[in-house]
Amino acid sequence: MRRPKNKVAEYFVNIYRSLATIAAGMGVTIKVFFQKPVTLQYPDELPVIEEAFRGLHIYEQEKCIACEMCVKACPIDCISLQYEGKGKKARIKSYRIDYTKCLFCNLCVEACPTHCIKMGKEYNLCSYDRAGCVRELAEDIYSERSTVSE
Amino acid sequence: MSVDYLHTHEILVNMGPQHPSTHGVLRLVVKTDGEWVTETQPYIGYLHRCAEKIGESVEYPQFVPYTDRLDYLGAINNNLCYCLAVERLAGIEVPERATYLRVIGAELNRIASHLISYGTFGMETGAFTPFFYGFRERETILSIFEKWFGARLTYHLCRIGGVMADITPEIAQDIRDFIKTMRAVWDDYNTLLSFNEIFVRRTADVGVIPPEMAIEYGLTGPCLRGSGVKWDLRKNDPYCFYDTFDFDIPVGEGLMGTVGDSWDRYWVRMREIIESTKIIEQALDRMPEGAIRAKVPKILKLPKGEVYVRCENPRGELGFYLVSDGGTKPYRLKIRAPSFCNLSITNAICKDCLLADVIVIVGSIDIVLGEVDR
Ligand code: SF4
Ligand code: SF4
């Protein structure tokens, strides 16, 4: 950009340019002022979660054949699976995912042959303590003393 | 102007590691003589997560989500580079549609990254408004990503042999709409910040990197191109059909001051946004139907050998050096991070400048600390 050589002229040109460009910027602000706001007043308004969203897992226990493919696919070993028997007759005792470690990478979902683990839309991951971040997804429907945590 | 007669005791000023103007946890130890800076030494390592070691201890497909966390603003570009490295060594042929999808993802991600850089660079020079504008458009990109493959920051879009999800016509339309909006608001952006006189005076002629110096320090990306060197891996070492796309490589021209000053680096990024929209449009038009993932064995074993693959990520040349011993895990993985190399020039250009300029200069290099420390 060309700048005037004369010191005095430069002083005034500077002031003029600053004011002019600020006014132009202000014009943009005013233009946007009359547009619809794009922000969402969370938590009063909740965001729309897309179908494809990769949130907390959804597990369908009846379909699971305890093949441990998901456990092996997980990069960070955050799935812990306890079961009795294999295949269709498998009894799943617990299926835990440690959400302090989970990367939400979808690799477990892609590895599962029976499509019984999916990633859902739930995005509220907070909990009051570390233990709360480990979620139990299976219901221990077989043993008498059920140790299902909420 | 000589400042000899104003000589006082030098003071050490510690900037960071938690400082709003350092992008992440960067510590700068600045030696000042009054307002004048005589030395700036960056101290890094606060975000070190052993990414390379993790890469050596997990299987090839399992490391892809970790690459998201290197440069978290350009995650798809990182995914892409790692996948390309593995695919080249394994000899996996990627379907054409998948490659185009990768390009679309990578370029959208580049725009998102440059928008953040736009916002934060404005903040560093004292303009708060651009930040919101940058984030408004970035939000649109993130919504598209969420609709496409379900994540907003740690994308994990590229998989070895293809991409995770296909785009529907609806998403393609969303992307086209976004491109239209982006081109329209780009002028607003420039009115707001690029040509604002105060901003220009803060950035022009500040932190000048001459082209020879840029090459000597191994700068890449917008920092190198800002110095007037036309070097873009998308054209110079093409991958993913980039050589067939029609787009320009913006370089610094010294429009507001000297070639290679902070304003030039900033302006290169701004113009790259427009170039990226061109690439996306062409990719959307040309994309053939077909599969989005090649058949990759469940247990992927790479042949013995080594490979170095580099990609142009929003910040420069990202390289993955893989050494395989024939197993399911790499024997050695080395990541060449552009931010790390770009940061090395800090001390050379943050000399004999004002303290406030240090923030502008470091901002104009546009580093992501996740990538510097890895
Ligand atoms: S999403 Fe990834 S990290 Fe989380 S449980 Fe599944 S495989 Fe493991
Ligand atoms: S991969 Fe699927 S079927 Fe196999 S154990 Fe995991 S959830 Fe169950």
Tokens linked to A42: 């969370």
A41 lies within 8 A of chain B by CB: no
Which 3 state secondary structure label does DSSP give A120?
Answer: coil
- Averaged pLDDT, A12-36: 85
Whole-angstrom CA distances from A7 to A4, A19, A98, B195, B200 are 8, 19, 67, 22, 19
Does pLDDT of B102 surpass 60?
yes
**Alpha carbon separation from A90 to A73, A77, A86, B13 (Å, rounded):** 20, 21, 5, 64
Quote the tokens at residue B287: 């994309």
Protein residue whose Cα sits closest to atom 7 of ligand 1: A74
A2, with CB counted inside 10 A (0-12, 13-18, 19+), is: exposed
Whether the pLDDT of residue B230 is over 70: the answer is yes
Question: CB-side exposure of A7: number of CA atoms within 13 Å?
Answer: 0
The verdict on a CB contact (< 8 Å) between B188 and A52 is no
List the CATH code of the domain at A57-136.
Answer: 3.30.70.3270
Instruction: Single out the residue of B359, B281, B371 nearest to residue B20, CA to CA.
Output: B359
Q: Which of B82, B188, B190, B293 is the best residue to mutate to test the A interface, defined by the most A CB atoms within 10 Å of its own CB?
A: B188
Taking the centre of ligand 2 as the mean of its atom positions, its distance from the CA of residue B149, in whole angstroms, is 22
- Considering every ligand atom, which ligand is closest to the CA of A112? 2
Q: Residue A84: which H helix or E strand, with range?
A: strand A79-84
Express each pLDDT in B49-92 by its tens digit.
Answer: 888 888 888 888 888 888 888 888 888 999 999 999 998 888 88
Asked if residue B133 has pLDDT above 50, the reply is yes
Mean pLDDT of A38-51: 84
Ligand having the closest approach to the CA of A94? 2
Q: What is the band of B5 on the pLDDT scale with cuts at 50, 70, 90?
A: low
pLDDT tops 50 at residue A138: yes
What does the pLDDT read at residue A60? 84
Q: Coil, helix or strand for B313?
A: strand
Indicate the helix (H) or strand (E) that contains B52.
Answer: helix B51-57
pLDDT for the residue A83:
81
Complex confidence, ipTM:
0.80
Closest C-alpha residue for ligand 1 atom 8 = A74
Statement: residue B256 has pLDDT above 60: yes
Describe the strand order of the beta sheet including B316-324 as a list of residue ranges.
B305-313, B316-324, B330-336
What pLDDT score does B111 carry? 92
Q: pTM of this prediction?
A: 0.87
φ, ψ of residue B177 to 5 degrees: the values are: -60, -40
Contacts of B349 (CB under 8 A, 6+ apart): B207, B208, B209, B361
Residue A141 in this model has a pLDDT that exceeds 70: no
Least confident of A56-65, B4-13, B53-62: B4-13
Gap between the Cα atoms of B93 and B87, Å rounded: 7
What distance in Å separates the CA atoms of residue A100 and residue A111, rounded to the nearest whole number? Answer: 21
- Given A25, A73, A105, which is nearest B196 (Cβ)? A25
CA distance B243 to chain A (A): 31
Are the C-beta atoms of residues B332 and B85 closer than 8 Å to each other? no
> Which chain A residues contact residue B70 at CB under 8 A?
none
* Cα gap B50→A101, rounded to integer Å: 16
